[in-house]
């Protein structure tokens, strides 16, 4: 203990001499909000990013992820990031679309040919400018993660074609594009946050919802809506957002390290995602879900005019074309 006291005293003396307080030696915590479980591919990818960040900043930063909506739903989480109350969050693209309509282009129905097309877009620099432009709202988008392809799932019977969707009330994420999308699929979109979906279907307020296989399985939605029909109608990104105040508090070097590592974590996330889909599907099936393959052509045709309707300025047009060109 004598030795320990000596060491501590010495550190304090040196620290004081250099003009530091002891706080300088403690890692700065980055609080990150996440709405799903700590087994989810995005949680794992973000955790890996956090470990690398701690390592590469020599312990100056430490990431703490709060899963399962502990810090609120995505809309609340984004507001916390925006105000600087927390530093980071993963939120679905529609939430950011509500700040800037140009984001809607990223999640148009059938804009990606499949996962590898989306991966090519998200690992390119095509979206960098758009992602930086949200600084005017007090946050920056660091990178995009995949959340697979979304399909319809319902309570009563599978969906084979557009006429099956008639009169169906289906939960969608809270944005114009998502509501419009449900109409072109033939049904009615009901905007709602993720946490309320299970009981809304159970109580009959909704006929179903639409989501990827992993979320469908993780949130046990098969219990209330056992018919999963692979319409694969849209691939909606999730965005890793960071508070602008926080970014400005970092040294230039650490900020660049954080940006590079975040961007790099997208590839990790895609890999984990692709490995997990089959497992999620099997899990849902073993718990009573039925998966039905759907001919997507009629849905694709029906949603084509939506692409034209929602692309209203030259920036969106240019982005749409560059995304398609990578397909
Ligand atoms: C997906 C997505 C989430 C989103 C959810 C939803 O799971 O990854 O970010 O919250 O869909 O439908 O709300």
What value of ipTM does the predicted structure carry? 0.98
Q: How far apart are CA 323 and CA 125, in angstroms?
A: 11
Q: Quick one: which atom of ligand 1 is closest to the CA of 193?
A: 13
Which residues lie closer than 8 Å to 81 by C-beta, 6 or more apart?
Answer: 33, 87, 88, 89, 138, 139, 241, 242, 243
Mutate which of 211, 239, 270 for ligand 1 pocket (most atoms within 8 A of beta carbon): 211
pLDDT of residue 19: 53
Residue 19: burial class (beta carbons within 10 Å; 0-12, 13-18, 19+): exposed
Distance (angstroms) between ligand 1 centre and the Cα of 18 equals 48
Q: Quick one: which atom of ligand 1 is closest to the CA of 215?
A: 7
pLDDT of residue 18: 54
Are the C-beta atoms of residues 244 and 135 closer than 8 Å to each other? yes
Domains of the chain: 26-146+237-277 (3.40.190.170), 150-234+297-325 (3.40.190.170)
Cα–Cα distances (Å) from 109 to 3, 246, 255, 307, in that order, read 66, 34, 34, 8
Q: Quick one: which atom of ligand 1 is closest to the CA of 238?
A: 9
Cα–Cα distances (Å) from 151 to 7, 13, 157, 226, in that order, read 61, 62, 14, 13
pLDDT of residue 24: 55
Q: Quick one: which atom of ligand 1 is closest to the CA of 147?
A: 8
pLDDT of residue 46: 98
Mutate which of 118, 147, 200 for ligand 1 pocket (most atoms within 8 A of beta carbon): 147
Which residues lie closer than 8 Å to 9 by C-beta, 6 or more apart?
Answer: none
Name the closest-CA residue to atom 3, ligand 1. 92
Find tokens 């679309």 and name the residue: 97
Are the C-beta atoms of residues 190 and 171 closer than 8 Å to each other? yes
In order along its 327 residues, the chain shows pLDDT tens digits of: 445 455 444 545 554 555 554 445 689 999 999 999 999 999 999 999 999 999 999 999 999 999 999 999 999 999 999 999 999 999 999 999 999 999 999 999 999 999 999 999 999 999 999 999 999 999 999 999 999 999 999 999 999 999 999 999 999 999 999 999 999 999 999 999 999 999 999 999 999 999 999 999 999 999 999 999 999 999 999 999 999 999 999 999 999 999 999 999 999 999 999 999 999 999 999 999 999 999 999 999 999 999 889 999 999 999 999 999 999
Q: Read off the tokens for 160.
A: 């084979």
pLDDT of residue 1: 45
Q: How far apart are CA 291 and CA 138, in angstroms?
A: 42
Distance (angstroms) between ligand 1 centre and the Cα of 56 equals 30
Using CB distances shorter than 6 Å, the residues near ligand 1 are 35, 74, 92, 147, 173, 194, 211, 215, 238
DSSP characters over 59-128: TSEEEEEE-TTTT--HHHHHHHHHHTSSSEEEEEHHHHHTT-GGGGGGG-TT-SSSHHHHHHHHTSSTTH
Find tokens 């018919």 and name the residue: 227
Which residues lie closer than 8 Å to 312 by C-beta, 6 or more apart?
Answer: 101
pLDDT of residue 118: 98
Residue 24: burial class (beta carbons within 10 Å; 0-12, 13-18, 19+): exposed
- Measured from the Cβ of residue 40, the count of other Cβ atoms closer than 10 Å reads 23
């Amino acid at each position: 203990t004598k030795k320990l006291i000596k060491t501590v005293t010495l550190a304090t003396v040196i620290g004081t001499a250099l003009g530091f307080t002891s706080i300088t030696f403690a890692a700065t915590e980055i609080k990150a909000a996440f709405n799903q479980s700590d087994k989810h591919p995005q949680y794992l990818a973000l955790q890996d990013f956090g470990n690398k960040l701690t390592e590469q900043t020599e312990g100056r930063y430490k990431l703490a992820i709060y899963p399962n909506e502990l810090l609120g739903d995505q809309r609340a989480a984004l507001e916390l990031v925006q105000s600087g109350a927390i530093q980071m969050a993963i939120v679905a693209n529609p939430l950011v679309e509500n700040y800037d309509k140009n984001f809607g282009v990223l999640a148009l129905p059938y804009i990606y040919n499949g996962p590898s097309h989306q991966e090519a877009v998200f690992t390119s620099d095509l979206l960098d400018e758009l992602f930086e432009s949200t600084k005017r709202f007090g946050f920056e988008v660091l990178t995009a993660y995949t959340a697979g392809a979304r399909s319809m799932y319902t309570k009563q019977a599978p969906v084979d074609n557009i006429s099956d969707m008639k009169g169906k009330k289906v939960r969608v994420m809270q944005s114009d594009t998502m509501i419009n999308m449900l109409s072109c699929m033939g049904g009615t979109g009901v905007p709602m946050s993720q946490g309320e979906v299970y009981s809304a279907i159970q109580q009959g307020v909704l006929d179903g919802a639409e989501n990827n296989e992993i979320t469908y399985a993780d949130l046990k939605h098969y219990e209330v809506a056992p018919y999963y029909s692979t319409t694969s109608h849209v691939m909606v990104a999730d965005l890793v957002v960071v508070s602008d105040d926080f970014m400005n508090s970092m040294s230039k070097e650490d900020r660049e390290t954080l940006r590079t590592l975040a961007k790099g974590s997208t590839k990790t996330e895609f890999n984990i995602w692709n490995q997990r889909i089959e497992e999620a599907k099997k899990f849902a099936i073993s718990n009573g879900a039925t998966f039905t393959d759907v001919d997507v052509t009629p849905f694709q045709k029906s949603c084509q005019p939506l692409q034209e309707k929602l692309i209203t300025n030259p920036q969106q047009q240019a982005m749409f074309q560059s995304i398609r060109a990578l397909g």
